[in-house]
Each structure stands twice: as C-alpha cells, then as structure tokens.
Amino acid sequence: MKNLFYKTGTLALFAGVLLTSCDPDIDTPSSSAGTADFTSYVAVGNSLSAGYADNGLTLPGQQASLPAILASQFQKAGGGAFEQPLFPEDKPNGSGYLRLTGFTPQGQPITQPVTTDLAVRGQNEKGAPLYTKYTENVNNLAIPGIKTADIKTPGYGSTQGNAYFERLTDNPMQTYLQYVQAQAEAANHTFFSVWIAENDVLGYATSGGAFETDPRYKITPVADFDANFKELLDVLTADKQKGVLITVPDVTSVPFFTTLGPSIKQVLATNNIPGMVAITGSGRDRTQFAASQIGAAENGIYFPLTASSYAPLIGQPTGKYWRELAKQLSPSQDPLVVRLTLAGVLANYGIDTTAMFGLSAGNPLPSALVLDPVEQAKIKTATEGYNQIIKAQATARDLAFFDANAYFKSIQGGFAANNVGYSPAFITGNLFSLDGIHPTPRGYAVVANEVIDVINSKYNANIPKADITQYDAVLFPGRQ
C-alpha cells in the first residue's frame, strides 16, 4: 500500500544547523575497509533500497537512496563505482510522487500528485504504466513492491505486473533471483546489503487485513520466507562475500498507522463517545451487521476507548484499496460507478447510510480501514519470525547485522542532531516522507549511518558517516 490517509495535528517546525569546522592541526583517522572489500558493492531489496519516497520513485530519490549513500561512503575506503537504474534526466519525476502544497486552517497537510515529466513509455494490457527501460548492468538491484515470496516467480515483471522490475529486464519470464545472480556475477561483487522483507507483511497491514487471501496482500508464511531468503543469500555469498543484513521494522509503528488513530481517540473522548464499531475478520463479506452481533469475532468488533491501538487506518479511502473495497461491496459493478452510487450500494448490502459512520452497528467501519487485535498479532508474529531468521543467517554466515526493528523502536520518543529534532512523527519528525511509510532522503541518511556503525564494528573498518544535513527532509512549499 502506498497511499496515506492524510491527517495531522498542529504543525511544529524544527530548524537550525550547527556549523562545524575542522581544526587542521588535528589528524583524523584515515578511512579503511578493515576485513571487508567494498570494491564492488551490490544492494538487494525493495522500495526501501530503491530510494522510494513521497509515494513514488524519482531520479532525486534514486540518487539519495540508502545504498547510494552507503556507496558514497564506501568509496572513501576503496569502494568502486555504484551504478543505479536511474530515470532519464529529462524525465526526473519517474513514477510520479506527492508534494506538499500547504496546510488547512486546522493544520492538516494538503498534498498534490506530481504527474509531469514522468518516465513512462506506455501502458500494459491492464492499463498500468510501463516505465522507461534500463537494461544495463547495475549495482542497485532493489525493486519497489517486491516481497521475498516473489523472488522465484517467473514473469514477475511481465505477467505479474511489477513495472519496476519489467523496466530492468529483457527476459519477460526472468525471476528476480535469476536477475540478482546475473547482475551480481556481472559486477563480480565483493560486498552486498539485503533489506527486502518489509513487503512480506506490509500489504496485509496497510489493507487492514481485509484481503488476506489475495497473494498481493497476504502475509508471507515464515517457512516460505525462510526458504527463499536462504536461497537468496546462497547466491550472494557463493564466493564467501561479506555483507550486511537488515531486519524488518515494526510496520505498524510508522506514521501511516500512528498519525490518525490517537487523534480520533481524543475526539471520541472529548465528545463522550465510548468507542467505534467495525467489520473485521471474515465479517468483511457480511450482508448484515446487527447490533446483537457486536463483539462476535466472526462478524465484527467494538473498539472501546480503552483499546491500546485505535482504528489506525481510518480515513478517506483512496487509490487501489478503495477500488478493492468497492469491488468487495459490489463485484459486478465498475468501482467508479460504485463510488458514484455508494449510498445506494451500501443500503443494498444492509448498511444504514443515515447512521453515523463507524459509530453505529448499522454503518460500521469496513475491515480495510482497521487493524483489529487479531490482525495486529499476525503482523507481529510474522515480523518476529522474519527477523529471527535474518539474525540467524547473519550469525551463520558471519555477516554484519543491523536490527532496524530495534532501532526504530528506540527512537519513538525522538532525538536531536545538529540542533534539529527527529522523530517518527508525520511531517514534523523529518524522518518519514509524505506517504508515511518510506523515509525522507535525510531519513535514509540517518539509517545509512546506523548501518555504517554495524559494518565498522563487524569488519573492523573505518567508514566515515554521511553528513545528514546534505539530504532533504520533507520539502515545504517554496523549497520545491
């Protein structure tokens, strides 16, 4: 899911950069690779390694990707060139993205999709965009949207429709694992990074667990993740290459999930409303939802104000998940028609459109907008399972290991660097972009420095850290 239901509270701006100078009389330690070899570095991963931000992949985003930042620092210790599948300079907006245009009087952000200068060459048979081809050898092998479960799927870029992979390969039936092997061999790689597991749980989370039987949104079984992840590492360590493995952060702790729920909870408390009603679990397909069914696990759930996690996905349905929801309500009708005649369709399915949305058993929140406790537990179990495997493989193969999950938990309260405040807060926290899931370029630089720390420690290296102030946080109107 790469849509965000945009709500936020009062805007607080953080500013200020502490300028420092270097005393020429003080010698700084020289950079070194230690026992690692950064001559040829390749990066394997998903959108988090591709440079995805603000709900899109762009040329500036690619240039500020996590692997690009790492590679620029590796070059100070003997690292070689790092090639990326960059969008053309005359089509820098790539897939398109969101930009911030202002704020409402209530402090809510106003965003606008950028649809000019896109690197789009046409459409596939389903009407989805096809991006400008790039079939040269590259070092950054990251594919937005890919799951570990997908790496052995033939036709993943063509018949399965991942346009980011389709643009990189001339073989329509090539699997991602085959692509990684071919590119790694072409690069004669000596070092690698892998950050790939997030999408194995993210689609389920951002869709509220409503479409768990759909392969696009289902959680990857831990056993399947284990098998595919080991096979991927077998390719990357075939000649005993060194590298770094990165865990999955708790996806429910990012702004996409944490921005709106608390504010809704506060509104309900202020107005003495005890809680909300939602369809959940198998209840997503029900045609009736009587008041007597509240609390029945197979039909729905009541969210009291005492709930620890509160309706995290409530918002205006947009994009592909709205279309999925519309199809769910009326599979025989075009989603756009359903949207135009929503009240009538809902009434036909036993929903009382005159009742208050989410506050009545007659008009409950749809499952796609809520992560109930059972769904949250599934996400937690899968995340912990993936991360245990990643850590175990790092130990077994003697690789560096960055626990991104532990790191993001450690900064929930925020921190300061160079007199600038950072936190996981939406917009004001500087770390996360406008989609509420992917970091800003500066957020990627912050993560890169943490990764450099574990590489230095594991391989007795001395890779200098990146200057995070050289990378953008959220761009406000006037700076775009």
Cβ contacts of 150 within 8 Å, gap of 6 or more: 156, 160, 162, 176
Task: Output the pTM of the full model.
Answer: 0.84
How do residues 18-42 score in pLDDT, each as one tens digit?
Answer: 223 344 444 446 899 999 999 999 9
Work out the percent of the chain whose per-residue pLDDT is above 70.
Answer: 77
| DSSP E strands, 211-319 | 242-246, 275-279, 300-304
As a whole number of Å, the CA-based R_g of the chain is: 23
Asked whether residue 293 carries a pLDDT value surpassing 90, the answer given is: no
* Other residues' Cβ atoms within 10 Å of the Cβ of residue 253: 14
User: 17-26, 125-134, 338-347, 379-388: which has the highest mean pLDDT?
Assistant: 379-388
Nearest to 283 by CA among 271, 295, 265: 295
Nearest to 74 by CA among 463, 448, 467, 468: 463
How do residues 393-449 score in pLDDT, each as one tens digit?
Answer: 999 999 999 999 999 999 999 999 988 999 988 889 999 999 989 999 999 999 999
Helix, strand, coil percent values for the chain (each to nearest 5):
35, 15, 50
Q: Which phi and psi (to 5°) does residue 249 adopt?
A: -70, 160
Confidence bin at 257 (pLDDT 50/70/90): confident
Q: Which phi and psi (to 5°) does residue 413 adopt?
A: -85, -5
Domain boundaries, the chain: 41-257+373-470, 258-369
Q: What is the pLDDT of residue 283?
A: 44
Assess contact for 287 and 350: CB atoms under 8 A. yes
- Residue range 41-257+373-470, CATH number: 3.40.50.1110
Confidence bin at 202 (pLDDT 50/70/90): very high
Assess contact for 14 and 430: CB atoms under 8 A. yes
Q: Which residues pair with 111 in a beta bridge?
A: 100
Encoded amino acid at 58, one letter: T
Assess contact for 256 and 281: CB atoms under 8 A. no
